[in-house]
Amino acid sequence: MRIKPANRTESVQEYYFSMKLKEIAEMRAKGNNIINLGIGSPDMAPSGNTIEKLIESSGNPKNHGYQSYIGIPELRNSFASWYKKYFNVTLNPQNEILPLMGSKEGIMHISMAFVNEGDEVLIPNPGYPTYESVSNLVGAKIKYYNLDKDNNWLPDLNALEKENLENVKLMWVNYPNMPTGTRATKALFQNLVGFGLKHNILICNDNPYSFILNDEQLSILEVDGAKEIALELNSLSKSHNMAGWRIGMVAGSEEYISTILKVKSNMDSGMFLSLQLAAVEALGNSATWYTGINLIYAKRREIVFEILDVLQCKYEKHQTGMFVWANIPNEFESGEMLSDYVLKEAFVFLTPGFIFGTQGNAYIRVSLCTEESQLIEGKHRIINLFNKNN
């Protein structure tokens, strides 16, 4: 091209799912009916009252102007009430909550607000790829910490203590965990807060999966002293079936939130008012609404377990979240090889674990965001494939 791209673009690649969706689209264009069990985009709708509020509010001509960078008071109050009710965390809605256009946006804002070029950032392996790509974009030095099945996919803080942490500024954690499905524990969050305070490292917990197949909602901010050293991201994408609405939040001390706002206020012009009002409705959903969604996910998960049994994968049955993480059989060299084989021969896409880091090479991840009929069809295709080759 005539104009050379910025150097920072050389540190990142096109998102894996963006590339894979193009491949799947090409296969479909050739007449192949692909069943996508890879991406975690909820296929169910938000609650009816949420949709009704969006329709009602968007019909008001006064609701289409620019909005405050910090969100309307009703939304911040609703986030605070939600955190108090389900997470037992008290947040000041005036200055300890900042609404976001999805928590993915928050990963960039937090990194830009606190990480200087050359600062080190602790990133889990396996982990959400955006932690890595954003760290690269802001010029950070990435320091990976391994999550391992033998340690129940929890960070080994004792091992990290033995490393040089002098230049580490930020640590990304994600519990309930994606991709492994490991649940959060109070002890984990207590240990992380202690670790952050000892080494002066900002601990950021990315927490969008607390309501999916999970009976206990936990927040790192519940720990004494957490607001001194921790932030938490949350989102309505998974918990309320609102992925495309792009509504999330970051919570923490007033000082941290005001610093993040310096970045955010230079990058957008506020969230559409009708979306904010609809989010208020969603946050007021009863506990039974979450229960109903989870009954559907639980049924789907049983079918996914059956699919994994056909594939002879090993997995834990008590995972949380909208995915199942599974160890591949020895006959396949990698999760990518198994994924490509099943896609090519059975037209079913399963996410290879390598995209989450080297610790995921021997794993695949299967999404629960597909109707039962499609899951059953995918299972039958895979049964036929393996029967044909055995």
Q: Are residues 197 and 313 in the same domain?
A: no
pLDDT digits (tens, 9 = 90+) for 69-84: 999 999 999 999 999 9
| Domain annotation covers residue 53 | no
How far apart CA 318 and CA 298 sit, in angstroms, is: 11
At 387, the pLDDT band (50, 70, 90 cuts) reads confident
CATH of the domain at 15: 3.90.1150.10
Q: What is the pLDDT of residue 290?
A: 97
Of 283, 300, 324, the position where a domain reaches its end is 283
Q: What is the pLDDT of residue 6?
A: 85
Q: Is residue 1 predicted with pLDDT exceeding 90?
A: no
| Domain annotation covers residue 148 | yes
At 100, the pLDDT band (50, 70, 90 cuts) reads very high
Q: Are residues 270 and 310 in the same domain?
A: no
Q: Are residues 309 and 370 in the same domain?
A: yes
Contacts of 62 (CB under 8 A, 6+ apart): none
| Domain annotation covers residue 329 | yes
pLDDT digits (tens, 9 = 90+) for 215-245: 999 999 999 999 999 999 999 999 999 999 9
The predicted model gives 345-358 an average pLDDT of 95
Burial of 18 (0-12, 13-18, 19+ CB in 10 A): exposed
Q: Are residues 205 and 146 in the same domain?
A: yes
Q: Are residues 257 and 204 in the same domain?
A: yes
Q: Are residues 246 and 329 in the same domain?
A: no
Of 267, 283, 299, the position where a domain reaches its end is 283
Can you tell me which residue has the tokens 């390598």?
Answer: 354
Q: Are residues 180 and 319 in the same domain?
A: no
Q: Are residues 82 and 199 in the same domain?
A: yes
At 8, the pLDDT band (50, 70, 90 cuts) reads confident
- Residues spanned by the domain of 362: 7-45+288-388
Q: Are residues 159 and 186 in the same domain?
A: yes
CATH of the domain at 252: 3.40.640.10
Nearest to residue 137, comparing CAs of 12, 14, 15? 12
Integer-rounded Cα Rg, in Å, for the chain is: 21
Q: What is the pLDDT of residue 154?
A: 98
pLDDT digits (tens, 9 = 90+) for 171-223: 999 999 999 999 999 999 999 999 999 999 999 999 999 999 999 999 999 99
pLDDT digits (tens, 9 = 90+) for 11-41: 777 777 778 888 888 999 999 999 999 888 9
| Domain annotation covers residue 189 | yes
| Domain annotation covers residue 267 | yes
Burial of 47 (0-12, 13-18, 19+ CB in 10 A): buried
The predicted model gives 288-294 an average pLDDT of 97
| Domain annotation covers residue 2 | no
Total domain count for the chain? 2
Mapped onto helix, strand or coil, the DSSP state of residue 35 is strand
Of 262, 283, 304, the position where a domain reaches its end is 283
Q: If residue 121 lies in a helix (H) or strand (E), which one and from where to where?
A: strand 120-125
| Domain annotation covers residue 154 | yes
Q: Cite the DSSP H helix spans in the chain.
A: 16-29, 48-58, 73-82, 103-114, 129-137, 157-161, 186-199, 226-229, 254-264, 273-283, 287-310, 335-346, 372-388
Q: What is the pLDDT of residue 390?
A: 63
Q: Are residues 199 and 235 in the same domain?
A: yes
Q: Are residues 71 and 115 in the same domain?
A: yes
**Of all residues in the chain, what percent carry a pLDDT higher than 70?**
99
**b/e burial code for range 368-380 (CB count within 10 A of at least 16 → b):** bbbeeebbebbbe
> Model pTM?
0.95
| Domain annotation covers residue 56 | no
Q: Are residues 224 and 292 in the same domain?
A: no
Q: What is the pLDDT of residue 171?
A: 98
Contacts of 154 (CB under 8 A, 6+ apart): 147, 182, 188
The torsion angles phi and psi of 80, rounded to 5 degrees, stand at: -65, -45
